[in-house]
Structure 1
């Protein structure tokens, strides 16, 4: 598991676009000693940007003819061509999903908070204490509490650092604040209270919700998955977007009317299942973007 590899920087507005564009122009960009000057970031910020691109599953490293290079993944190419400025909530939701999924072990705190941690309202000190306890129970080696504190701070800022309405030039906000998945409020006791927020399915985007279903490791060969699994399973709607069962069913009902790839309800052993069409998540997202 990995901790505090973000250099204490949550991702800022325009960073994503800068990173993808730089790699498209130069596959050795992040190995260049002066790359930070090219994109106008500090050295630690550049390391943070590289970390986020790997954590989002849009960047990969390869060795070609003995030389290490970076290239965009298939998802990275799709997003570069269609929404590299992260203007659509659907794009943000897909990247949030890949971050929480933590497939390559880059983003432990995000996986923990959305998949493991069940409290919906907690003081920041208690949130930190819970994370420290969980890490101590799941790690063989000792992890610095300073690293874990940086992870909690970054997690909160990642989803709550919104644009300053009074400053149109503000570039310090996190684009992921638009998903409204978390709120940080100052309490009378002098500490912040962190709350999980239940968004509307349309704020996440039906396209991204469908992509996540099609991309899930929980989908068996028969393409059947229970509604309970979608609500309660790791890396599925209920957990990664804080969605209630009612909100999950609301979104599923919309997908039964998809014009090209409708899902079907199936009742088996007194449980509600949905049957997914035979299309991959990448094929689906490409078809939606081309349609748009």
Structure 2
């Protein structure tokens, strides 16, 4: 488990695009002295960005054959898709997958994982969050580290109305647009997003959570960690709504066994669906530009 590796900085608009560009030139960028200059950010922000490129699922540290087995940052499957189809991080689907990658990783983004998957209520504040996660993690770190994570989570998902929403402003985190957490003063609430989540992303989450099992109970979709109910704050009604749409696409079918509603997943490659929708979006953009 890890805490506060973000150095108190949430993802800034433009950060990931710059990291993608520079890491493609040098997979050991973050160990270089000129990383600050090449990325155009300060020392602590560089350390934060090093954390975020892994937490969002774009890169992973692994031995690089071209470097005689030395560790370097290698693109993940998701990272390769983004590099090819959305290098400037302009598409909503990219940010839905980024959110999923963050909150499913208990080891790298422990507090994010805890809030969305484990925390027992939708409503929370700083005191209750820190109290509950301290118990859950057996006081793994001091309270100040939990507070840094809490503050960063809020900055990640809740838009600060005092910050001007203008193109030149790169302080706002694009994940605030997903409407997954709303605030009322110092009270926060996990909320079901008003905008429709891409079906391809939901199917990906379901497939990965199923661990190869094609039969899934509806209750698992709603209540299991790292499944669509927890990851996206979905009610049971919303889950059925999305399942109907996916069934129409032929990706799954409903089954009732012993009075229990369950879903039978198709053998479609979820990542291929993700790639296909990126291709479709890019083709549409090209037609519009023409």
- After TM superposition, the score normalised by the length of structure 2 is 0.89
3-state secondary structure, aligned to 1:54 = helix
Residue 189 (structure 1) aligns with: none
Residue 225 (structure 2) aligns with: 234
Whole-angstrom CA distance in 1 between matches of 2:92 and 2:167: 20
3-state secondary structure, aligned to 2:156 = helix
Give the superposition deviation at 1:132. Answer: 2.1
Residue 160 (structure 1) aligns with: 158
Residues 94, 212 of structure 1: 8 Å contact kept: no
Whole-angstrom CA distance in 1 between matches of 2:120 and 2:91: 28
Whole-angstrom CA distance in 1 between matches of 2:69 and 2:235: 50
- After TM superposition, the score normalised by the length of structure 1 is 0.89
Give the superposition deviation at 1:83. Answer: 2.0
| Mean Cα deviation higher: 274-283 or 263-272 | 274-283
3-state secondary structure, aligned to 1:194 = strand
Partner deviation per Cα, 1:4-34 (whole Å, 9 max, x = no partner): 1111111110111111111111122112111
Give the superposition deviation at 1:58. Answer: 1.6
3-state secondary structure, aligned to 2:182 = strand
Partner deviation per Cα, 1:268-290 (whole Å, 9 max, x = no partner): 12111111111222222122222
Whole-angstrom CA distance in 2 between matches of 1:129 and 1:215: 31
Give the superposition deviation at 1:225. Answer: 1.1
Residues 208-287 of structure 1: pairs in structure 2 closer than 5 A: 208-220=201-213, 223-258=214-249, 261-287=250-276
Whole-angstrom CA distance in 2 between matches of 1:224 and 1:201: 28
Residues 162, 175 of structure 1: 8 Å contact kept: no
3-state secondary structure, aligned to 2:255 = strand
Q: Which consecutive unaligned segments of at least 5 residues does structure 2 have?
A: 282-290
Aligned length: 277
Give the superposition deviation at 1:66. Answer: 4.2
Q: Which consecutive unaligned segments of at least 5 residues does structure 1 have?
A: 187-191
Whole-angstrom CA distance in 1 between matches of 2:178 and 2:141: 30
